[in-house]
Structure 1
Amino acid sequence: MSNRAVLEVIALDAEDAVAAQSGGADRLELVSDMASDGLTPSRETFASIRAAVDIPLRVMLRLADGFEAGDADGLVRAARGLRAEGADEFVLGFLDEDGMPDLVTVERLLAELDGCRWTFHRAIDRATDRDALRKQLADLPGLDTYLTAGSAAGVDDGLPTLLAEAARRGEPGYEPRILVGGGLRLDHVPVLRGAGVDAFHIGGAARPQGWSAPVDPGAVAGWRSALDA
């Protein structure tokens, strides 16, 4: 089914990963420390998840809360270690103090990733100028996805932006896939699907009991059904 939408689910450990895959997730975003909105997991965590499931894994490269790079040397070491462990897809994104892409840090990391596919995450929702950001990043190797809610406040506020950007798919800077996440609800799905959006990212929505509880395969299956409807 070529028009099947991608469902990406946040996983913190192997238990989450197995539950998400069994519920119908196509891909996982691997993070630690959701209190800091998702940081880089350990190599050991990556290895245990990789052994537990066979779907693609995108690993977060982020060492501190917020959208500035901070310890760039530490990020490079983390990327190198995860690559050595077999990670081959990543999630990253950093802004400078002017709210524009921190290209120095991003390009240092891409040198480690060596052509791996990656997502520029919700830092785009904090950027001073989304269009300029997309054009600055347009020629970077491996960038195939933007994780975005269209707004720092979430999909409710960002929906007009998401629809406008979806309509520009294929223009310079707009070739990467739009992966919608951040306050995403099932009732947003029909209008987004109607606009051609074909990738969706859930975190809390996969955990009806909250972040202290594991991913619920039934909740993931509900999203799978909605995306396939």
Structure 2
Amino acid sequence: MSNRAVLEVIALDAEDAVAAQAGGADRLELVTDMAADGLTPSREAFGRIRSAVGIPLRVMLRVADGFAAGDIEVLVAKAHEMRAEGAEEFVLGFLDEYGHVDLVSVERLIAELDGCRWTFHRAIDRAADRDALRKHLADLPGLDAYLTAGAATGVDDGIPTLLAEAGRSGQPGYEPQIMVGGGLLLHHLPQLREAGIDAFHIGGAARPGGWTGPVDEAAVREWRTALDR
């Protein structure tokens, strides 16, 4: 069906990836080290996951906790390495100390990605001005999604913002898909779907045993079923 919503699931390893795909995930976000909120995985981990599943993979480009880019040379080298390994989609997003988008770092990195599609992640939820951030990024090649909860504290607080931004779809800065994630719960889905939002991202919700446990196929399927309802 054409209006099928996108379900993206965080995967740390091939076992996660296989379970998520079996449960109905459309795409995976690949990270390591969730204690630091998700950093770039190793190229070996990417290779194992790429061999294990057939769905698209978005690779996190992030080398330190927080929303500063840190050492941009390290990030560019990692992006280069992942591209060489066959990665075609990415996740990134950096702010400066004032909460404005770090355009220099973002542009440096996407030059290395050379047209690949990418998500600007939840750094938008920490931005001083969300609208300004979107407009600054509006003309960058490859940007096709914002991963956002609408608020730094999560979807419960962010719903008014998410609904308002969904209402601006197609305006300058609002062309990329809104992908909701960050404290997202099943009961949030009807209202968000009603507003036309059609992409969702889960991490902990796919792991009933917590981050030390693997992705659970049944948990992912519950989300898939709810989205397809």
4+ residue runs of structure 1 moved beyond 3 angstroms? none
- Structure 2 unaligned blocks of 5 or more: none
Alignment of 1:63-102 (within 5 A): 63-102=63-102
Name 2:225's counterpart in structure 1: 225
Q: TM-score, normalised by structure 2?
A: 1.00
Identity %: 78
- Matched letter for residue 184 of structure 2: L
Q: Secondary structure at the match of 2:90?
A: strand
Shift of 1:32: 0.1
Shift in Å, 1:28: 0.1
Partner of 2:213: 213
State the match for 1:131 in structure 2.
Answer: 131
Superposed displacement of residue 125, structure 1? 0.1
Aligned length: 229
Measure, in 2, the Cα distance between the counterparts of 1:207 and 1:120: 24
CA deviation map 1:112-143 (0-9, x unaligned): 10000000000000000000000000000000
Match of 1:227, SS state, is helix
Show the counterpart of 1:175.
Answer: 175
SS at match of 1:29: strand
**1:77 is aligned with what amino acid?**
A
CA distances 1:80-124 after superposition (whole Å, capped 9, x unpaired) = 000000000000000011111101110110111000000000000
Deviation per CA, 1:10-35: give whole Å up to 9, x if none. Answer: 00000000000000000000000000
Distance 2:108 2:43 in 1: 20
1:22-59 C-alpha deviation (Å, 9 max, x unpaired): 00000000000000000000000000000000000000
C-alpha distance in 2 between matches for 1:173 and 1:111: 20
Structure 1 counterpart SS, 2:82: helix
Report the residue type matching 1:122 in the other structure.
Answer: R
Q: Which residue of 1 aligns with 2:19?
A: 19
TM score, norm. by length of structure 1: 1.00
Structure 1 stretches lacking a partner, 5+ long = none
Deviation per CA, 1:166-196: give whole Å up to 9, x if none: 0000000000000000000000000000000
How far residue 220 of structure 1 moved from its aligned partner, in angstroms, is: 0.1
Secondary structure in 1 matching 2:222: helix
Q: What code does the residue aligned with 2:78 have?
A: A
